Structure 1
């Protein structure tokens, strides 16, 4: 060891060897970097653009309404495809279950009546209003059997009434009873989804059924039912298009296109009611005479969310809180579109 350290020639040889090894290491690193770069370029070259680009999706919850017609026509997919957005459709029987799906992150967009957003917001669902329809009071009503002794709303006192809890008809019934001198507690409410409510109504298990279209017209024509009262002069009965706050913040362009396409169908439907009924009949699998009735009762048009519309919803929220139907008082403005603001 001492001899090696004291021999200048031996030290020179070590330095030469080290230099050679360093040069080899650097050359190897360059080769590896070059190979890695070529490999990455090859992967990029053969990866489809659709895979490399950021993918977006719009998951639409829908019921028997214009959204089902939008699904059939495929125009939403055509509009969104250039943006790299795919559309997934999920059918629901009623609004409350749609908003449960929104709360757990299963859908991004859908339509419901006046009441479901109130219950959803009260339960902490991060909902945001996207757009509203014009008022449509004639498309929801209280049905009774044709032979029923119930002739006025006051006659409903003590009767069993079927309805979907938390749906648009829930608020309608509350206001209808109040208008006719009855309280929410003066009737026996039976919470049933539309299909189950129809069965109970047909078997005589309940005395009345509060329901919306197209179930309303179908029951009139096939169950010998008659309308006791509809929502005209009682509530406005708008439908609302909704999303989650997170989705709306990141995908405002997608939601705007969806509303545009729905409004196009509204405008077309208003001018072509017979053709609309024929198309809806095919989509829903209902006889055209049934659909003709509901189309005749319908109003058409889509409106942006405004402060006056939010004020309408606040009245509903306050009513439900007073009746202890929701667990806490809410401010509907917390669900306003970002562009409108909370003020």
Structure 2
């Protein structure tokens, strides 16, 4: 009887030790936060399971980042944001310190920093989306020049506003030469369908309007300079980068790792399948990529090149001229290239993407 009691007691003590060990391992290492929080665009973000897109979806599916953070007792938390109000949600989240990183657009990042927030571009590349000018299906318009004096739906302050300004300028037009309707993508599509807008400037949702015989694409950014595309990249809180460089390095390495995995020969098809699984019609994903003149591997380059810096410098200048920011912003202060540089060393990819 006594022997059975001793055995049982040993078992209970062992179980208690395992529980305590588990609790200890679940706690973050000294000086580290409980979680790293990354905001990313998600479909069905307001109901049901969030389906992430782009680089963040690849990072989430690989599981490497969650595993590496877990070894330090730090959780990985994904914060879904809706496509209709990404800029507002992310900038507010950075302001109230409820996120540490976000994969989102270039122009909202400029607006955030000009407004007093301090974020840094951590991992460039990955999402270089095309922009499209759509007119009603039966419209006689064939180019932006045919829309002078007409009503064009455009969501102000979103990443595709800058490419729209480039399209206007290339045709000798100014914003005052058209009547801009500041509408989010959903409302812009509805305005085009109802006839209350003569055109709609948007992203690949343009193809859905074509499929429904509501709209017709008359211009796309696939062949003009790359600067006419919309950039969405990984940004981090400057405070977080300074306070937790070890964690920031893991995040950057995870994204560079995902970029390299997507950039290989069969990565295009795998990327298309992943986007389709996340809720984007496969036909839309394929049409977005078809005819794009940027090499597939270069699309995923995380290098902070002169091209990237020139893009942000020009966009910061545009933001001031367009009244989106109150004072000039020095874009040269927006970058934290050290994390990608170290990630390339860690992954032995120093020569993978030629500068």
Report the TM-score range of the alignment, normalised by the length of the smaller protein.
0.7 to 0.9
Structure 2 counterpart of 1:289, from 283, 289, 300: 283
Query: Is the partner of 1:227 in helix, strand or coil?
Result: strand
Give the superposition deviation at 1:244.
Answer: 1.0
Verify: 1:280 aligned to 2:242, yes or no: no
2:7: which partner in 1? none
Verify: 1:260 aligned to 2:253, yes or no: yes
Structure 2 counterpart of 1:230, from 220, 236, 252: 220
Give the superposition deviation at 1:72.
Answer: 4.0
Partners in 2 of 1:211 and 1:332 — Cα distance?
Answer: 25
| 1:200-211 map, 5 Å | 200-211=191-202
Partners in 2 of 1:220 and 1:68 — Cα distance?
Answer: 27
Verify: 1:199 aligned to 2:190, yes or no: yes
Q: 1:230 to 1:185 in 2, by over 3 A?
A: same
Kept after mapping to 2: 8 A contact 1:274/1:292 = no
Verify: 1:190 aligned to 2:181, yes or no: yes
Partners in 2 of 1:216 and 1:66 — Cα distance?
Answer: 22
Unaligned runs of 5+ in 2: 1-16, 42-52, 340-355
1:207-227 CA distances to partner (integer Å, 9 max, x unpaired)? Answer: 2221123x2333333344322
1:221: which partner in 2? 211
Residue-pair matches, total: 294
Higher helix content, 1 or 2: 1
Give 4+ residue runs of structure 1 displaced > 4 Å after superposition. Answer: none
Structure 2 counterpart of 1:58, from 21, 25, 36: 36
Query: Is the partner of 1:240 in helix, strand or coil?
Result: strand
Kept after mapping to 1: 8 A contact 2:192/2:215 = no
Query: Is the partner of 1:303 in helix, strand or coil?
Result: coil
Kept after mapping to 1: 8 A contact 2:134/2:217 = yes
Give the superposition deviation at 1:176.
Answer: 0.7
Verify: 1:113 aligned to 2:91, yes or no: no
1:36: which partner in 2? none
Partners in 1 of 2:305 and 2:161 — Cα distance?
Answer: 23
Query: Is the partner of 1:228 in helix, strand or coil?
Result: strand
Partners in 1 of 2:63 and 2:194 — Cα distance?
Answer: 40
Partners in 1 of 2:260 and 2:302 — Cα distance?
Answer: 12
Give the superposition deviation at 1:134.
Answer: 6.5
Partners in 2 of 1:227 and 1:112 — Cα distance?
Answer: 25
Partners in 2 of 1:217 and 1:263 — Cα distance?
Answer: 30
TM-score normalised according to structure 2 size: 0.74
Verify: 1:239 aligned to 2:228, yes or no: no
**What is the root-mean-square deviation of aligned Cα atoms in Å?**
2.7
Give the superposition deviation at 1:306.
Answer: 4.7
Structure 2 counterpart of 1:156, from 135, 147, 156: 147
Kept after mapping to 2: 8 A contact 1:129/1:335 = yes
Q: 1:295 to 1:52 in 2, by over 3 A?
A: closer
Unaligned runs of 5+ in 1: 1-41
Partners in 1 of 2:63 and 2:185 — Cα distance?
Answer: 27
Q: 1:132 to 1:163 in 2, by over 3 A?
A: same
2:75: which partner in 1? 86
Kept after mapping to 1: 8 A contact 2:125/2:233 = yes
Verify: 1:77 aligned to 2:66, yes or no: yes
Give the superposition deviation at 1:168.
Answer: 1.5
Kept after mapping to 2: 8 A contact 1:310/1:333 = yes
TM-score normalised according to structure 1 size: 0.76
Kept after mapping to 2: 8 A contact 1:134/1:301 = yes
1:152-209 CA distances to partner (integer Å, 9 max, x unpaired)? Answer: 1111212222222211110011111011011011112122222222222222222222
